[in-house]
Amino acid sequence: MSPLTGKTVVLGVSGGIAAYKAAEVASQLSQLGAAIHVVMTGNATRFVQPLTFQALTGNAVSVDQFESSALHGMEHITLAERADLVLIAPATANVISKLAAGLADDLLTTTVLATRAPVLIAPAMNANMFAHAATQANLARLHELSYTVIAPDAGRMACGTTGPGRLPAPEFLVEQVIARLVTGDFAGVRLLITAGPTREPIDPVRYLSNHSSGKMGYALAERALARGARVTLISGPTCLPPPTGADLRPVVTAEAMLDATVAAFGECDVLISAAAIADFKPAVTASRKIKKAGRAAMSLELTSTPDLLSVLAERKSRQVMVGFAAETEDLIANAQAKRERKGLDLIVANDVTQPGAGFASDTNLVTLITRDRCEPLPLLTKREVADRVLDAVRQLIP
């Protein structure tokens, strides 16, 4: 049986160039067994014809609540009551402002106001429009109204501007729907995940850090959420949108990451430490910018930072603990030694000198190591690696 068999999804499509991606979303959800009912705004029909969605879903497309095909002019009530979930993708600035204000002047907005189903909203618009204070205030209001806002991707827009505002890939939107409609193998499991780099200040304008992008930790959070887990994500500075549904707790320094992780550790079932935490920090942080003038050289005294995994190992009771080992030589030996030294149940080892396995890459080449097995994986996307890591973690949970 397909995972969405028996589920009904109302897909709202508003008038933006990203409407073409909604056709792929409708197709994928239909293939997963869901009954898809598409509601389009009038402007959306200028970008994609309703017939496209009808062919992909096998259902008539609704645009005007007063059209002759609507059931006694009450189409919004029928759809609202039938829906197990409503997804609006793309959601334009105009639709977002209407929903934030509680307006209902077309079939899409009246359906949203009438439903008791969860509502996912995927904004897509020009980067400047997305950054505008009015749009951000409207998005904050949607959060207050218990709508789930899916953060947009950043990149080059059709209009030529660059920044956050792109509709995420259809596959990602489908994952968000599945995460809310399907009870996965991590249902009820509380995961604590660390991700990204830390920054150790030298002075008010400089810091020590590393090349970590946070992509691996965020992929783990996204896939865990899709499989039903409750996720707390302790993240160093990244440029990534927060995974929808995660309890994101941003930090900057190694000490701040330790404090935040220790505070959450007692409530978790699984810790996955994917962050690249600085091993050293300046012994003294200058209160003012260190000037270059008159200096031919400068020495920087470093001191070690707290070892997060060692601290947590002392507090471990029932938790499954997973760590990462980014190595440049003797991969297996170094990773095994770290697993034993830190008291880890599983360590994910990767040689960052290998093609496709370094920091900021969208792929990774890892080996999963437990006390009694060593499993090298082929080159995979970080989302695929995340699922393989979670598969191994699931076997370790009592």
Determine whether 268 is an active site residue. no
Burial of 371 (0-12, 13-18, 19+ CB in 10 A): exposed
Show the 3-state SS of the chain.
Answer: CCCCCCCEEEEEECCCCCHHHHHHHHHHHHHCCCEEEEEECCCHHHCCCHHHHHHHHCCCCECCCCCCCCCCCCHHHHHHHHCCEEEEEEECHHHHHHHHHCCCCCHHHHHHHHCCCCEEEEECCCHHHHHCHHHHHHHHHHHHCCCEECCCEEEECCCCCEEEEECCCHHHHHHHHHHHHCCCCCCCCEEEEEECECCEEEECCEEECCCCCCHHHHHHHHHHHHCCCEEEEEECCCCCCCCCCCEEEECCCHHHHHHHHHHHHCCCCEEEECCECCCEEECCCCCCCCCCCCCCCCCCCEEECCCHHHHHHHHCCCCEEEEEEEECCCHHHHHHHHHHHHCCCEEEEEECCCCCCCCCCCEECEEEECCCCEEECCCEEHHHHHHHHHHHHHHHCC
Catalytic-role residue among 159, 239, 268, 374: 159
Q: Which amino acids are annotated catalytic? A: 159
